[in-house]
């Protein structure tokens, strides 16, 4: 019998008893795990790592995506990232779906870590989008915009250099160093208990051309999306992912307009004024984008906006992290209507047109 290990999010680790029967932990805890697994699971960072690896595994085994290393010309010794894509992502002549999650601890294939832990995989991951896309004949590319660096252990020389770099008087620095050492000793003792996986001082080594979500989106566009055979490219971008998409459009406006058919944003935090998006970009977004925002209104109800960019409609939930899941059926309908409108060489379908007209009347 495994002992119960209390976890701060109201989840008990150890016997499979968790706060929600459908959450990912119930699937991870049905079998006894080795001692190191439980040591890792005791800490928040360790649990994040376990969930991330588990979702990566599901993307490959259940969604049949392949892992592609970035940069594409990376040397063996340099830091690397990766994305996931379907086998036909670059060769599908018809449709390509690109998924971009928000900022924070989430990684490729995830919308919200909180939902994965406390609710279920459907609401917290991008798997429903990937599976639906496959059923409807889309190629798929899953971005990984938060994988910007790797952590490596500092050498003794680097640790000493960082402590000796101050311009303070020697006596004051010695007193400060003594206090810092005592503080570090207490912190390291606590950290070793809380997270046995992290005991050394580390430094960040950024991944070439992928050092931020915005850089990552542009890199994947240049090396994959723009090179794909798909006549119709569709984006789903959540939260900070919407900001990354707008930045991509600012940097590659002509290419995006030529290749992208429609963009679905979910509670995007982009700002066309702060990002200095030009008039032609704002006009294109009004015609080709829709933002499903957190709102108490019923799903797809128009929501007033102060910004002159894309229409905003309700996602049917007031919870930011649930917007991608709640708007899921509406987004694929939106894509289908956009593609039909493009193929028939007429204005967008009624839902999009009525939203645009009512938006402009406001």
The catalytic residues are 239
- Find where tokens 């029967």 sit: 21
Q: Which bin fits 152, alpha (ψ -120 to 50), beta or left (φ > 0)?
A: beta
Instruction: Starting at the earlier edge strand, list the strands of the sheet with 95-100.
Output: 66-70, 81-85, 138-142, 95-100, 232-238, 260-266, 289-293, 312-314, 302-303
d(CA 228, CA 225): 5
In angstroms, the CA 130 to CA 136 distance is: 10
Beta 260-266 vs 232-238: how paired, if at all? Answer: parallel
Distance CA 71, CA 97 (A): 21
| Residue with token string 């702060």 | 274
Q: How many CB atoms neighbour CB 280 within 10 A?
A: 12
């Amino acid at each position: 019998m495994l002992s119960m290990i209390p976890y701060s999010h109201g989840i008990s680790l150890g016997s499979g008893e968790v706060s929600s029967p459908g959450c990912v932990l119930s699937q991870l805890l049905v079998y006894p795990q080795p001692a190191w697994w439980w040591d890792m699971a005791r800490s928040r960072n360790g649990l994040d790592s376990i969930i991330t690896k588990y979702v990566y595994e599901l993307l490959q085994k259940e969604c049949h995506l392949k892992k592609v290393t970035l940069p594409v010309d990376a040397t063996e010794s340099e830091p690397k990232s990766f994305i996931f894509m379907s086998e036909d992502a670059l060769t599908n002549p018809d449709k390509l779906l690109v998924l971009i999650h928000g900022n924070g601890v989430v990684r490729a294939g995830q919308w919200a870590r909180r939902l994965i832990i406390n609710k279920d995989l459907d609401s917290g991951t991008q798997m429903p989008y990937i599976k639906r896309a496959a059923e409807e004949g889309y190629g798929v590319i899953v971005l990984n915009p938060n994988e910007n660096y790797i952590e490596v252990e500092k050498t003794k020389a680097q640790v000493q250099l960082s402590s000796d770099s101050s311009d303070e008087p020697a006596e004051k620095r010695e007193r400060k160093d003594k206090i810092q050492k005592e503080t570090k000793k207490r912190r390291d003792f606590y950290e070793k208990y809380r997270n046995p996986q992290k005991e050394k001082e580390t430094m960040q080594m950024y991944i070439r051309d992928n050092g931020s979500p915005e850089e990552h989106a542009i890199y994947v566009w240049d090396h994959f999306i723009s090179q794909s055979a798909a006549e119709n490219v569709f984006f789903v971008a959540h939260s900070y992912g919407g900001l990354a998409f707008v930045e991509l459009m600012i940097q590659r406006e002509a290419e995006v307009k030529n290749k992208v058919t429609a963009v679905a944003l979910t509670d995007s935090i982009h700002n066309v004024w702060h990002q200095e998006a030009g008039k032609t970009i704002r006009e294109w977004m009004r015609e080709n984008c829709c933002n499903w925002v957190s709102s108490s209104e019923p799903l797809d109800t128009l929501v007033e906006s102060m910004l002159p960019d894309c229409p905003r409609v309700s996602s049917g939930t007031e919870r930011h992290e649930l917007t991608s899941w709640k708007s899921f059926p509406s987004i694929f309908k939106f894509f289908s209507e956009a593609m039909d409108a493009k193929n028939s060489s007429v204005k967008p379908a009624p839902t999009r047109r009525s939203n645009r007209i009512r938006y402009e009347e406001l």
